[in-house]
Structure 1
Amino acid sequence: MNSTSQFTSSFWSYYIIAIVVLSFIGLAWLLLSQNQVKAPPKGEEVKTMGHSWDGIEEYNNPLPRWWFYMFIATMVAGVVYLLVYPGLGDFKGFAGWTSKNQYEKEVEAANKQYGELYAKFGKMPVEQLAKDPQAQRIGQNLFNTYCIQCHGSDAKGSKGFPNLTDTDWLWGGTPEKISETISKSRVGVMAAWGPTLGEERVKDVANYVLSLSKPEEQYDPVRAQRGAAVFHNPPANCYTCHGDKGQGVQGTGPNLTDDVWLWGGSQKAIIDTITNGHHNQMPAWQNFLGNDKVHLLTAYVWGLSHPDGKALPTDSTNALGAKAAAAAKAAPAASQPAAVSASAASAPAAAPAATPAEDKADVTYDTQAGTQVATFFFATGKSDVAANAASVVGDVIAAGKEGKKLVISGYTDSTGNAAANAELSKKRAQAVQAFFEKQGVKAANIELRKPESTTGAQGNNAEGRRVEVKVAG
């Protein structure tokens, strides 16, 4: 209990006092009530209590004197303790002890003992301290006390907490930046893009992100190609934080090309990150540890990722991962966004897709990773094909007439009744099928294929109200 309880009522202080005092009274009564039995006169046998367990009986003997006086001594010690130290409600005790002033005295004693040593190390450069065995031992002790809860005993971090032994730095890996991070704290925020982009475009961006560092078998090149457009254009504009090639911007967004992941690098984890966002905070240690201890911690952390004791280019500028660097070298950055895969880099450049009108029929055509794709957009609740469709998708019509397979998949947004939406997506796909048959494409060359998820967007979004037509061969 403390004085803050008085802000509401003094009842709780008196409540605690009453419980403690009544407990002592109860214990005293119990002791005295059990001390009524006297030893029998010499020569008489001690009576039993009438209890028997397997032939063993309980004698009615008086309390041993040593035990009786020890119990009294314990109660007296308890009373003395409660008078000297806090324990009776808001009563602080005659000694005036608090955990805070005890901590301050211990810190003061430690500063007297080690203050000169800390001050000595505080004047030495980080690079020098990183090579000093004594300084590193002290730095490691500080790290083990304050940092391993998040960064692990090996400093390699865990999900949501960064690895401090590699060369990937979100806020910079120079001694000055590391010291600033430890001293002043950091707050990292990844916005939740799920409501804005919708389920399908989130998957597209996730596949593009995977393509920046993963082998092609771990992502869908077609989705990656679409995701590249979302990454570099409104409404996402991911490159603002993550750089035009995904290399990241120190102090703003992490490098996506080096296969180092704070929240997981699987497709599921990346989709979750894009959809729901993340919020992370590194606490500020300056006021708690002071300058000299922060300096020693800085030297220890810097030494973990700089075993040679030399500064690295990645301390201040992110480096492209091997795959992204190779793609950037093969194709000049100005010609197109970063290559998403080996096959996509060699494919004809996709024509920029037109932005669909929010609530009316529209159609676009482009090539994605070498695949011809026509996208039909629809007004809310409608299945009417855009009037200019024939002139926009002439190449797809020609491919169908030549005998190539046209695969048609319908989508809806996530608003309204799910069953009705599913039926509407099917109706739209059938309307597109009828459109191509009217243009002279044989029904045998058209396939209606239900997509893995018919919901193309979260909310009422034109990206959801679409039908995609791919030329399959």
Structure 2
Amino acid sequence: MSMGWNWFVAALAALNIFGVAWLLWWTAKRRPGDPKPEETSHYWDEDITEYNKPMPRWWINGFYLAIAFGIGYTVWYGGLGTIPGTSGWSSADEHALQKAAADARLEETFAPYRNAPLPLLAADETAVQLGRSIFANTCATCHGSSAQGAIGYPDLTDDIWHWGGEPEQVLQTVLDGRDGIMPEWGTVLTGMGGEHAIDYVIAYVRALGQPGQTLENDYMAARGKTLYDGVCVACHGVEGKGNQAMGAPDLTDDYWMYGSSKESLRQTIAQGRHGVMPAHRELLGETRARLVAAYVWSLSTPPAPAAAGAAASGSGSAR
């Protein structure tokens, strides 16, 4: 806060306190020539009379005490801009103390799950409940409360993982985030195959998801394969199975994160996509990230009997 704003806030606070005191004193004062309380000459319905009686003295004195308390409170705790109070208290210090106490409680709660393997956590009902709570507070904004995602945000309840579905891969996604980039290919494809080049590629990509389909009788898909082999194969592979190391999706399944309509596919190919999964290492810390990763992994992976048995007998050895 600049010095000008500091003095403005200080003056405004002081003006409010002393202004209220002056207003109370001024309005409670009776002056020579004032009519008596019962002589206002205001009558309604013949027998209803308006009086002008002062507030009770106990109420006025109570108000003065409240003003004095406000002055003392301001002097003790501070309230005149950035001028500190005589007690040295500050909201920043209070917040730091409360945060430290809350962090200590959280550390105690999450300590048993530190460094535990995801499959073991996924088989622990308490750990899964904690992970679900963290997910609801942190991840549901994008992936939805049911974790089924939306257009542009992946469904976490199926078995499709663009960056890999192994426990450590899921944990890495949560901790360090992902940056999935589909480049713009509109100009390149048009230069290679003419104005309908993108439609050809769309036809071939759709054919990839239809096992047994031949391209001999599909002119557009056949043209699209040539273009695909020249541009798309580097990321999505010869068979269109994708590449989890790059986050390139499998084009042979029936899942389309940005939609499967022709318009959506045309936009994806021509203009590209840029999907970002933020890193949560600093926000959550490794233990909480591990818990939420275990919850997400459990949504599509039933716990193995061995892991469930280990969790039932106590997971202290893995923690």
TM-score band, normalised by shorter chain: 0.7 to 0.9
Give the paired residue count: 292
Cα offset, 1:280, TM superposition: 2.4
Partner Cα distance (1:50, 1:194) in 2? 84
Report SS of the residue matched to 2:274: strand
- Unpaired segments of 5 or more residues in structure 2? 306-319
Tell me, yes or no, if structure 1 residue 33 matches structure 2 residue 26: yes
Cα offset, 1:29, TM superposition: 3.2
Tell me, yes or no, if structure 1 residue 247 matches structure 2 residue 249: no
Cα offset, 1:131, TM superposition: 1.0
Report SS of the residue matched to 1:280: strand
Aligned twin of 1:259: 254
- Unpaired segments of 5 or more residues in structure 1? 311-473
Cα offset, 1:14, TM superposition: 2.1
Partner Cα distance (2:188, 2:49) in 1? 81
Cα offset, 1:154, TM superposition: 1.0
Query: Which has more radius of gyration?
Result: 1
Tell me, yes or no, if structure 1 residue 228 matches structure 2 residue 220: no
Which string of whole-angstrom CA distances, capped at 9 and with x for unpartnered residues, describes residues 330-385 of structure 1?
A: xxxxxxxxxxxxxxxxxxxxxxxxxxxxxxxxxxxxxxxxxxxxxxxxxxxxxxxx
Structure 1 residues 410-421: aligned runs within 5 Å: none
Higher helix share: 2
Partner Cα distance (1:251, 1:69) in 2? 76
Cα offset, 1:75, TM superposition: 4.1
Aligned counterpart in structure 2 of residue 238 of structure 1, from 232, 242, 255: 232
Aligned twin of 2:184: 192
Aligned counterpart in structure 1 of residue 132 of structure 2, from 137, 140, 156: 140
For normalisation by structure 1, the TM-score amounts to: 0.54
Aligned twin of 2:316: none
Which string of whole-angstrom CA distances, capped at 9 and with x for unpartnered residues, describes residues 416-443 of structure 1?
A: xxxxxxxxxxxxxxxxxxxxxxxxxxxx
Aligned twin of 1:129: 121
Letter paired with 2:291: L
Partner Cα distance (1:229, 1:204) in 2? 9
Aligned twin of 1:329: none
Letter paired with 2:240: G
* Closer, same or farther: CA 298–64 of 1 in aligned 2, 3 Å: same
Partner Cα distance (1:190, 1:238) in 2? 10
Contact 2:131 2:295 in 1 (8 A): yes
Partner Cα distance (1:142, 1:170) in 2? 23
Aligned counterpart in structure 1 of residue 202 of structure 2, from 199, 202, 206: 206
Q: CA RMSD in A?
A: 3.4
* Closer, same or farther: CA 153–65 of 1 in aligned 2, 3 Å: farther
Cα offset, 1:104, TM superposition: 4.0
Letter paired with 1:33: W
Report SS of the residue matched to 1:156: coil
Aligned twin of 1:269: 264
For normalisation by structure 2, the TM-score amounts to: 0.77
Contact 2:37 2:52 in 1 (8 A): no
Which string of whole-angstrom CA distances, capped at 9 and with x for unpartnered residues, describes residues 169-208 of structure 1?
A: 1211111111111111211222223344456323332333
Report SS of the residue matched to 2:200: helix
Contact 1:207 1:267 in 2 (8 A): no
Aligned twin of 2:168: 176
Cα offset, 1:78, TM superposition: 4.4
Structure having greater relative contact order (Cα 8 Å, sep ≥ 6):
2
Report SS of the residue matched to 1:90: coil
Aligned twin of 2:317: none
